[in-house]
Amino acid sequence: MILCNLHTHCHFCDGSGEPREYVEAAIEKGFKVLGFSSHAPIPFESEWNMAESRMDDYLRTVAALKEEYRGRIDIYTGLEIDYFEGDGRKVFIDYPVDYIIGSVHFFADISNRRYYSIDDTEAEFQKTLQVLFNGDIKRLVSSYYQQVAEMIKRHRPPIVGHLDVIKKNNGNGKYFSESETWYREWIDGVLDVIQSHGTIVEVNTGGISRGYIQEPYPSLWILKRCRQREIPVMITSDAHNPKHLDASFDLARSCLKEAGFNEQCILQANTWKRVAL
Ligand SMILES: [Zn+2]
Ligand SMILES: [Zn+2]
């Protein structure tokens, strides 16, 4: 398998470590392709997004590494861009990057410049559930998938980030059951949109290395439905530390094999390719 990871966060956002440390670690682990995907700026205070003032430095730093390491590893400049309802900015086309991961991490209360996270600690998740949805988990989950579908239709990101991140704090089905019809209907609806837009679904192991869940995003049954629909997939680790660059890649690969996949997408020589798993 050609090792490729396009989902990484260094010190420019909420990751730890210099970009160079990621490049060196990637080479040592045998990676052929490495992409940086810092959290793009948002119009609120947040702990994880890059400040707009650091964007130029980020782009310059990664571009310099790309030149310096040419021939040893393929380096790409990416961004993980938040989508939230009511965001009128044209962020998905404004930045000169090689690729974009489109992700939903929160619900925004735009008039109060506040956000309510669904990709954080359980305490934050509970706050979102109570404050915005009055404890109604079905409404929270439905709103999440509605935003994911809207993001893909409006902005057509090449990659959709951690598709079912809503399960992050749902260990043992604490809040909802993935086998219930209403949940499966939401997944099928979003997969329809993904399929018709040619979006790549990342198989993201970040929830495992951060101790929240034991399997990648998305769940195996969702991967099986992706396979049936011939939706392209790509393994990533959402690394926030260089040592997690290949975290649980073996597990992600075996999930993909079990779902019937023999190939994944990678970005190589500036072209999206399908290569053997
Ligand atoms: Zn994310
Ligand atoms: Zn990420």
Instruction: Say whether pLDDT at 266 is over 80.
Output: yes
Q: Tell me the CA distances in angstroms from 229 to 95, 189, 196, 224, one per residue in order.
A: 31, 12, 10, 9
Output the CA angle 15-21-25, nearest 5 degrees: 105
Report the separation in Å between the CA atom of 10 and the middle of ligand 2, taken as the mean of its atom positions: 10
Among all chains, which residue has been given the structure tokens 């044209």?
90
Per the DSSP assignment, residues forming a β-bridge with 200 are 159
Q: Quick one: CA dihedral 124, 128, 134, 140, positive or negative? A: negative
Instruction: Say whether pLDDT at 86 is over 90.
Output: no
Say what the pLDDT of residue 89 is.
82
Report the separation in Å between the CA atom of 277 and the middle of ligand 2, taken as the mean of its atom positions: 22
**What is the token pair recorded at 130?**
């109570």
Over range 11-37, report the average pLDDT. Answer: 97
- The string of pLDDT tens digits covering residues 179-222 is 999 999 999 999 999 999 999 999 999 999 888 999 999 999 99
pTM: 0.96
Report the separation in Å between the CA atom of 38 and the middle of ligand 2, taken as the mean of its atom positions: 7
Report the separation in Å between the CA atom of 81 and the middle of ligand 2, taken as the mean of its atom positions: 9
- The string of pLDDT tens digits covering residues 219-265 is 999 999 999 999 999 999 999 999 999 999 999 999 999 999 999 99
**What is the token pair recorded at 144?**
């999440």
For 4-276, the fitting CATH number among 1.20.1250.20, 3.20.20.140, 2.40.50.140, 3.40.50.2000 is: 3.20.20.140
Helical H segments across 114-229, by residue range: 122-133, 137-155, 181-197, 206-209, 220-228
Average pLDDT, the chain: 95
Over range 12-37, report the average pLDDT. Answer: 97
Say what the pLDDT of residue 34 is.
98
Ligand (nearest to CA of 120): 1
Domain borders along the chain are 4-276
Say what the pLDDT of residue 262 is.
98
Say what the pLDDT of residue 75 is.
98
Report the separation in Å between the CA atom of 135 and the middle of ligand 2, taken as the mean of its atom positions: 27
Report the separation in Å between the CA atom of 93 and the middle of ligand 1, taken as the mean of its atom positions: 19
Report the separation in Å between the CA atom of 30 and the middle of ligand 1, taken as the mean of its atom positions: 24
Report the separation in Å between the CA atom of 7 and the middle of ligand 2, taken as the mean of its atom positions: 6
* 30-44, 101-115, 156-170, 172-186, range with the lowest pLDDT: 101-115
Say what the pLDDT of residue 93 is.
78
Say what the pLDDT of residue 114 is.
86
Report the separation in Å between the CA atom of 200 and the middle of ligand 1, taken as the mean of its atom positions: 15
Per the DSSP assignment, residues forming a β-bridge with 235 are 203
Q: Which amino acid is at 131?
A: V
User: What gap in Å lies between CA 25 and CA 13, rounded to an integer?
Assistant: 19
Q: Which SS3 state, helix, strand or coil, does residue 198 take? A: coil
**What is the token pair recorded at 189?**
């609806």
Instruction: Say whether pLDDT at 87 is over 90.
Output: no
Among all chains, which residue has been given the structure tokens 């995907």?
37
Over range 54-68, report the average pLDDT. Answer: 97
Instruction: Say whether pLDDT at 91 is over 80.
Output: no
Say what the pLDDT of residue 60 is.
97
Report the separation in Å between the CA atom of 37 and the middle of ligand 2, taken as the mean of its atom positions: 7
Say what the pLDDT of residue 264 is.
98
Q: Which SS3 state, helix, strand or coil, does residue 101 take? A: strand
User: What gap in Å lies between CA 117 and CA 38, rounded to an integer?
Assistant: 18
Ligand (nearest to CA of 13): 2
As a whole-number percent, the residues of the chain with pLDDT over 70 amount to: 100
As a whole-number percent, the residues of the chain with pLDDT over 90 amount to: 90
Report the separation in Å between the CA atom of 9 and the middle of ligand 2, taken as the mean of its atom positions: 6
> Do residues 33 and 74 lie in contact, with contact meaning Cβ atoms separated by under 8 Å?
yes
Say what the pLDDT of residue 46 is.
87
